[in-house]
């Protein structure tokens, strides 16, 4: 009996261990310890395009020459260990509950939240294969923290597009032409698009352009990481 109780309490304690290093977690609801959390890389970055910089800036050399079709860019951190490892588990090992701590990390960065959050949709075939839309799960957690309204149906994919990072810039633009459609409902002047990892930026750019064409004045991008291809 005693050994059963010991085993049971050990089992409960394991639930409060850091999922990266197995030391005690930072709190009853945290899945990481303070030491690991401190190592989640979040260096300064450009608040327009998302490039890592030596200090935070509203614009940088990358985007002054070629501004993006959105206004503000927020990211949870840099695509390096341990954040990279956790995102990989979330997306490819179906550990969808990791949306909670990841969404919280992102929400902490957002100082001027948009009233409406639109997650970048997956094509229905890709969603069926993965079983969930990772961007919707992240957006749900961010919305809980920022008090924004979440709409997972407003923007839809109308055709299947192959992964962007395998294509040239011209192919990417062609690939994304008319990739998204908006359902017929009024939009506020400030909207945020939520994506898990922004690589080339062309997917969020296509969606942001569509929003601007429908009268949205300010489009923000919320993502976990930016990894320029």
Query: What torsion, rounded to 10 degrees, do the Cα atoms 109, 19, 122, 71 define?
Result: 10
Select the span of 2-10, 15-23, 110-118, 217-225 touching Zn ion (CB under 5 A): 15-23
Q: Would you say 142 and 117 are in contact if contact means Cβ atoms under 8 Å apart?
A: yes
21 belongs to the binding site for Zn ion (CB under 5 A): yes
Instruction: Kindly state the number of chain residues that form the binding site for Zn ion, as judged by CB under 5 A.
Output: 11
229 belongs to the binding site for Zn ion (CB under 5 A): no
Select the span of 1-9, 38-46, 116-124, 148-156 touching Zn ion (CB under 5 A): 38-46
- For the chain, give the longest Cα–Cα distance: 71
Alpha helices by DSSP H, listed for 42-152, are 61-65, 83-92, 99-109, 124-130, 134-146
Residue 211 phi/psi, 5° resolution?
A: -65, -45
73-99 in b/e form (b: 16+ CB < 10 A) is bbbbbbbeebbbebbeebbeeeebebb
Min dist. Cβ of residue 223 to Zn ion (A): 14
Q: Would you say 153 and 147 are in contact if contact means Cβ atoms under 8 Å apart?
A: no
37 belongs to the binding site for Zn ion (CB under 5 A): no
110 belongs to the binding site for Zn ion (CB under 5 A): no
Task: Name the residue nearer to Zn ion (CB basis): 21 or 229.
Answer: 21
Select the span of 8-16, 44-52, 105-113, 168-176 touching Zn ion (CB under 5 A): 44-52
62 belongs to the binding site for Zn ion (CB under 5 A): yes
141 belongs to the binding site for Zn ion (CB under 5 A): no
Write out the two tokens for 63: 């985007």
49 belongs to the binding site for Zn ion (CB under 5 A): yes
Bridge partners for 180 per DSSP: 157
20 belongs to the binding site for Zn ion (CB under 5 A): yes
83 belongs to the binding site for Zn ion (CB under 5 A): no
Residue 82, preceding bond cis, omega within 30 degrees? yes
91 belongs to the binding site for Zn ion (CB under 5 A): no
Residue 88 phi/psi, 5° resolution?
A: -65, -45
Min dist. Cβ of residue 30 to Zn ion (A): 10
46 belongs to the binding site for Zn ion (CB under 5 A): yes
33 belongs to the binding site for Zn ion (CB under 5 A): yes
Interaction site with Zn ion (CB under 5 A): 18, 20-21, 33, 36, 46, 48-49, 60, 62-63
């Amino acid at each position: 009996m005693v050994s059963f109780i010991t085993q049971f309490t050990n089992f409960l304690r394991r639930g409060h261990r850091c999922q990266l290093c197995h030391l005690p977690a930072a709190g009853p609801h945290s899945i990481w310890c303070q030491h690991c959390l401190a190592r989640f890389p979040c260096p300064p970055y450009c608040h327009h395009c998302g490039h890592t910089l030596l200090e935070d800036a509203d614009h940088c050399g990358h985007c002054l020459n070629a501004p993006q079709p959105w206004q503000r860019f927020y990211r949870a951190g840099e695509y390096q260990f341990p954040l990279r490892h956790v995102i990989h588990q979330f997306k490819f090992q179906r550990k969808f509950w990791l949306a909670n701590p990841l969404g919280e990390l992102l929400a902490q960065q957002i100082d001027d939240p948009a009233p409406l959050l639109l997650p970048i949709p997956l094509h229905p075939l890709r969603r069926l294969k993965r079983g969930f839309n990772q961007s919707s799960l992240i957006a749900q957690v961010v919305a809980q923290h920022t008090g924004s309204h979440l709409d997972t149906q407003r923007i839809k994919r109308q055709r299947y597009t192959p992964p962007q990072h395998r294509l040239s810039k011209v192919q990417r633009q062609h690939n994304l032409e008319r990739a998204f459609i908006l359902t017929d409902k009024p939009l506020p002047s400030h909207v945020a698009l939520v994506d898990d990892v922004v690589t080339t930026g062309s997917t969020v750019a296509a969606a942001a352009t569509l929003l601007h064409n429908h009268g949205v004045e300010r489009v923000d991008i919320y993502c976990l990481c930016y990894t320029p291809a």
